[in-house]
Amino acid sequence: MHSYLAYGSVIRTALDLSRVLPSGQEGRFELSVVDSAGTVPATIVPNRIPMFRSHECELVLLTDGPLETKVSGRPFCFEVQDVARFFWQGGTFEVRMERLERGTEDLLAFWLIHLFLPLYFTLEGHYNFIHACAVDLEGETILFTGPSHSGKSTLTNFFIERGHILVSDDKVATFEEHDTWQAVPSHPNHRPYRRFADLGLRVQEYCPQVRPLSAIYALCRAAPEAGVRVREMQGHRKFVNLLPNALFNFDCFRAQRLRYLGRLLNAVPFYRVDVPWDLDRLAEVHDALIAHRQTGELKAGA
């Protein structure tokens, strides 16, 4: 078994993930992923919960009854169409992985890291995930959120190219600890392009340690000639912008998720950034955000 770091935890598996994950022996949790040739009897997980289609695959969650917040002792199976099944008992840290007909090493690695681990950590109540990118900006961890095609990956790539440390790409695990809010690094890969079942490029500047969350910036697409503008959001507008970016919005978790996001938004500053839709002006956005973190104001002329 190899030991790797992903989502702030040690993942023990026979899969060779050295191309996409750093090795490590210490983390918040330790999860074993055991390759299994067995199947899941339908009598154990009879309730199929269709999730969505992603990367040309239908995704299904199976369990023994209606999904609810109490998962301890319940059987679960996450199925990626024709690729793999991941099954575990709620409250445990061992997962059995069954390869299906299209289960190549690359696809198993992708689905394990990209979606199964976030789903597992969510259902087990360890993390709350936000659809966002996160980078280190002069010692502070900030999140970029926004709808699809709002420029999150493009802006994150610009920051990486200028030497900033990647914390997480595409989805950020968060949790509350001792009245502080923490961001959990996902994995050292970044995908500034669109390609099916691809974790992206390996990033050299990456820190796998959990770190305090300093601020959230919601990216809003603006006209190419518009000015870069950063302003703090208040009240329900914060919810309106962040709630659609919360991952895995199962109905049974809705009340719990709303309470969690309410506490987070009361503690972590939340800003709107008007981003001119012009790649040649990304440097202005970069400089404006650095100036904003340093002084609370935009860089002169931005």
For 76-104, what is each residue's pLDDT tens digit? Answer: 999 999 999 999 999 999 999 999 999 99
Considering only CA atoms, which of 122, 136, 2 is closest in space to residue 51?
122
Contacts of 70 (CB under 8 A, 6+ apart): none
Decide if pLDDT at 259 tops 70: yes
The predicted structure's pLDDT at residue 300: 37
Nearest C-alpha neighbor of 128 from the set 77, 92, 181? 181
**Helices within 51-171 (DSSP H only):** 105-111, 117-123, 152-161
Cα 16 from Cα 2, distance rounded (Å): 7
Taking residues 182-189, report their average pLDDT. 96
Task: List pLDDT tens digits, range 200-240.
Answer: 999 999 988 899 999 999 999 999 999 999 999 998 899 99
Question: What is the chain's mean pLDDT, rounded?
Answer: 91
Where are the chain's structural domains?
Answer: 2-126, 130-295
pLDDT band at 8 (very low <50, low <70, confident <90, very high): very high
Taking each continuous run of H as one helix and of E as one strand, the counts in the chain are 6, 19
Q: What pTM did the predictor assign?
A: 0.93
pLDDT one-digit tens code per residue, 99-158: 999 999 999 999 999 999 999 999 999 999 999 999 998 889 999 999 888 889 999 999
Rounded percentage of the chain residues whose pLDDT exceeds 90? 74
33 pLDDT above the threshold of 80: yes
What percent of the chain has pLDDT above 70? 95
Lowest-pLDDT choice from 39-43, 138-142, 190-194: 39-43
Specify the CATH number of the domain 130-295: 3.90.228.20
Q: How far apart are CA 180 and CA 183, in angstroms?
A: 10
pLDDT at 297 exceeding the cut of 80: no
Pairwise CA distance, residues 205 & 264, whole Å: 27
By CB atoms closer than 10 A (0-12, 13-18, 19+), residue 4 is buried
What confidence score (pLDDT) does residue 168 get?
A: 95
Q: Cβ–Cβ contacts within 10 Å for residue 281, how many?
A: 18
Is the confidence at residue 301, as pLDDT, over 50? no
